[in-house]
Amino acid sequence: MALLEVDHTEIRYGLVPAVKDLSLTVEQGEIVTLLGANGAGKTTTLRMLSGLHRPSKGTVTFDGVDLTKLLAHSIVQLGIGHVPEGRRIFPVMTVAENLEMGAYRHHRSHHGGEALEEIFELFPVLKERRQQLGGDLSGGEQQMLAIGRALMGEPRLLLLDEPSMGLAPLIVETIFSILTKIRDRGTTILLVEQNAAKALSIADRGYVLETGTVVLADAASSLLADDRVRMAYLGEDIAS
């Protein structure tokens, strides 16, 4: 059984389906990426998985538990963390306070201190900035803070929505290097990312969505070599 199974789900905004007949799986220990143009349904899919949208059809199971009717806080308790698009940190709280908010799952138990040390090991800059306000951090530091806050809950599955958006190339390299370390430490990752080449370079598998439907699913190495992906998402001119 896969850690996460999405089976023939549909998500609607009113009468309009944003995701149609979506099926995907994520195995324990994988990085899986969702690719697609704006409006393809990627963010909507992550919001469904974290309980912010309810599917109108289909099922979603995490480690055998049906998520379909669970509230978002219950899904967090099961071990799913979500880093939303745009980071959504608390700008008037310090770095340390932002991270503390992420320990909600453990109700401030001793696990929080252990997790905090791991966050500071992954993101040394956050330790240096721990007393600064979140809103005073750079874009890259805020992204690190958003990821760190989610990791404070010690999730088994981490949902990441566009972690490279608006960041300089050097910071993007740093973020993606850290994502592989997070996976190597035992956290499974489902990644939505506009930088298809970078996402596929660290992923095990990928799905390509178009207008809410999966049109391609394969190993990341195969998707990198696929002419359709290379033309549509990697900006290559295959004809030339």
What DSSP line would sit under the chain, residue for residue?
A: --SEEEEEEEEEETTEEEEEEEEEEE-TT-EEEEE--TTSSHHHHHHHHTTSS--SEEEEEETTEE-TT--HHHHHHHTEEEE-TT----TTSBHHHHHHHGGGGGTT-THHHHHHHHHHHH-HHHHHTTTSBGGGS-HHHHHHHHHHHHHTT--SEEEEE-TTTT--HHHHHHHHHHHHHHHHTT-EEEEE-S-HHHHHHH-SEEEEEETTEEEEEEEHHHHHH-HHHHHHTS---TT-
CA–CA distance, 204 with 183 (Å, rounded to integer): 11
Contact in structure between 124 and 141 (CB atoms under 8 Å):
no
CA–CA distance, 17 with 40 (Å, rounded to integer): 11
Taken as a whole, the chain contains a residue count of: 240
Tell me the two tokens of residue 84.
Answer: 């939303």
- pLDDT per residue, tens digit, the chain (240 aa), is 899 999 999 999 888 889 999 999 999 999 999 999 988 999 999 999 999 999 999 999 999 999 998 999 999 999 999 999 988 999 999 999 999 998 866 555 445 577 889 999 999 999 999 999 999 999 999 999 999 999 999 999 999 999 999 899 999 999 999 999 999 999 999 999 999 999 999 999 999 999 999 999 999 999 999 999 998 887 776 554
CA–CA distance, 199 with 32 (Å, rounded to integer): 9
Contact in structure between 24 and 192 (CB atoms under 8 Å):
no
Return the pLDDT at 15: 84
Return the pLDDT at 103: 83
C-alpha angle 217-161-135 in degrees, rounded to nearest 5: 170
Return the pLDDT at 239: 54
Return the pLDDT at 102: 87
Classify residue 187 as left (phi > 0), alpha (psi -120 to 50) or beta: beta
